[in-house]
Amino acid sequence: MSVISKSTIQNCAEVGSSVLLDINDGDKMTFARLHSTSTLKVGNIKCNLEALVGQPYGAVFELQSERNSAKLVRLPSDSSGTKEKHQQNEADQNSEEVKGRDNRALVDDNKAQNLSSDDIDRMKREGVSGREIIEALVANSASFETKTAFSQEKYMKKKQKKYAPRVLMRRPSARSICEAYFVKDPRKIGFCRMDTLALMMSLANVGPKSDVLVLESLGGLITAAAAERVGGHGSICSAYYTTKRPPIDMVRLLNLDDATAVSVVRAPLEKLVAARRSAFNPKEKPVPAVLEGGKSAQVQNGRAVPKQEGQIENLAPVRNGREEAKVSVPHQDSSDSVTADAKSIGGEAVPMEMSVLHNMDVDHDDKSNKAAVEAREGDGCVPLDKELNAAAEGEEKSVKGPRPGNEATSSDIQRWASQGFSSLLVAAPELEPWTVTQNLLPLLSSSSPFVIYSPYQQPLADCMYQLQKNNMAVAVQLTEPWCREYQVLPLRSHPHMQMSATGGFTLSGIRITNPV
């Protein structure tokens, strides 16, 4: 696979670029693709994103309301005055006047503020800026001067978020995408935390000159992280086992250059397995057939024989860590069909393929999920699915050049069949890990690392036992990452009081070839 052009990194947002908008220091996160009609809604205020075009990533904008409209105005890089504020806070804390202050005499009876809500609404209708409203609130507060410097800063920050919200334009990356999804809808990414994602890339040794095989159902998060690490100097094959290719829309949020975009391809799993087997047995040309009882088989020399080692076995979906009915994926060379057994849900027979997709998608009939979606829409945050669809539509209109996720060519498949992949990444919680491992490990070259992710521990523990029992891998380890964020401020550095319970589990190892 040739590299089209030298990898470049955009320093400024352009028309057609994807951006991650961080509103009020992480309170809300939303994706957008910049074009003439892009808009952002914060609360009840809606503004155009045209001001973001041509600005560098990391720039901070303030939403300034006018009489009948609102606009984003970029703040100078030193407008926040972080360093000066910290120095002033330290000076205030060391001064004799402030040392004697505390908040013991403050009583929250809503009588300290002289401005009423009607006065504030009138100022908004008159077109008064958010900064002027904050200054008026401070001037009319009877308790502001009696607060400590830390309390004053906290008060100002709270009012700034309400009356003059700020928007940080971030560059979409695998970390920022994972972070945004983990905060808003972690089910879409299988509850995979950003530190777990980084650990997977490290354990799988993903980097330039790598040929990475990915099997996932997390919307393209793992594929996007691998593409970011490879940087166009290698290849990423996103395999799939269903009749319809699962989406990898998250890859398109990365603003990939041409070389990196063409390095991300898709291929059906059955073709990869068939090519790998043919590379070691060139005289054998199996033809799909069906044995009595509906079992998959192959026709060789005019006779139907059972499936052999290296062919795709049953992929069993699991839910809540328990194995359910199995999906049978027969070996085929020319079609992508999947023969699925029937599964009973609520007394009705449902095709197994539909059941797998049901596990992969969010249950939209869940009342709590509907309420959460409505709440996010009311706050001006568009659900991530709608954001990705809007971004994809904007990409089709404005972005020119190759798109990631094209079908792999025959030469690519033959090269992987003869050489083998250098890394394997699996993140499909709906599939049984041991069955997936049996099918995919032969596609790796010897001494290649692999990583399997799951939000459940027990399926990975069972897979780990089978790997050790059958001498299929060495350095096998089951890991649960642990992450806790810290607040780092002068005289106020401490761990956050709340943290996520778990970021999932990873099973890693190095594939070895069994001795003959």
Cβ(167)–Cβ(72) below 8 Å? yes
What type of residue sits at position 443? L
pLDDT value at position 279?
85
**Which residues, other chains included, contact 437 with Cβ-Cβ below 8 Å and sequence gap of 6+?**
426, 450, 452, 463, 466, 467, 472
pLDDT value at position 90?
56
pLDDT value at position 25?
86
The alpha carbon dihedral of 355, 359, 360, 365 has a sign of positive
How far apart (Å, rounded) are the C-alpha atoms in residues 160 and 150? 15
The alpha carbon dihedral of 50, 55, 57, 59 has a sign of negative
DSSP codes, 445-495: PTT-EEEEEES-SHHHHHHHHHHHHTT-EEEEEEE------EE--TT--EE
- Token pair belonging to 216: 């996932």
Cβ(21)–Cβ(32) below 8 Å? yes
Mean pLDDT of the chain: 77
Q: E strands along 144-286, which residues?
A: 166-170, 211-216, 235-240, 264-268
Residue range 157-167, pLDDT digits in tens: 899 888 889 99
| Alpha helices for 327-447 (secondary structure H) | 352-360, 367-378, 384-398, 410-419, 433-440
Residues in the chain: 516
> Within 13 Å and on the Cβ side, how many CA atoms surround 11?
0
CA–CA–CA angle 335, 339, 345 (5° rounding): 145
Q: How far is CA 72 from CA 79, 126, 264, in A?
A: 15, 19, 36
pLDDT value at position 318?
56
Burial class (CB in 10 A: 0-12, 13-18, 19+), 303: exposed
Please count the other Cβ atoms lying within 10 Å of the Cβ belonging to residue 257. Answer: 20
pLDDT value at position 359?
34
pLDDT in tens, the chain (516 residues): 434 444 456 788 999 899 999 998 888 899 999 988 888 988 788 888 988 999 999 999 998 877 667 889 898 876 544 555 555 555 555 555 555 567 777 777 777 888 888 888 888 888 788 888 898 999 988 888 888 888 888 889 899 888 889 999 999 999 999 999 998 899 999 999 999 999 999 999 999 999 999 999 999 999 999 999 999 999 999 999 988 888 899 999 999 999 999 999 999 999 999 999 888 776 655 444 333 333 434 434 434 344 444 445 556 565 444 544 444 443 333 333 333 333 333 333 333 333 333 333 333 334 444 444 444 443 333 445 555 555 545 554 445 668 898 999 999 999 999 999 999 999 999 999 999 999 999 999 999 999 999 999 999 999 999 999 999 999 999 999 999 889 898 878 999 888 888 899 999 999 998 653
**DSSP 3-state assignment of 149?**
helix
- Token pair belonging to 483: 């992450």
Residue range 188-223, pLDDT digits in tens: 999 999 999 999 999 999 999 999 999 999 999 999
Please count the other Cβ atoms lying within 10 Å of the Cβ belonging to residue 449. Answer: 20
Q: E strands along 229-347, which residues?
A: 235-240, 264-268, 287-290, 296-300, 303-306, 318-319, 322-323, 327-328, 339-340, 342-345
How far apart (Å, rounded) are the C-alpha atoms in residues 86 and 369? 41
pLDDT value at position 366?
40
pLDDT value at position 402?
81
Predicted TM-score (pTM) of the model is: 0.74
- State residue 148 phi and psi, 5-degree precision: -75, 165
Instruction: End-to-end CA distance of the chain: give it in Å, rounded.
Output: 34
Cβ(265)–Cβ(227) below 8 Å? no
pLDDT value at position 313?
56
Please count the other Cβ atoms lying within 10 Å of the Cβ belonging to residue 409. Answer: 12
Using alpha carbons, select from 167, 156, 185 the residue that is nearest to residue 364: 185
pLDDT value at position 107?
76
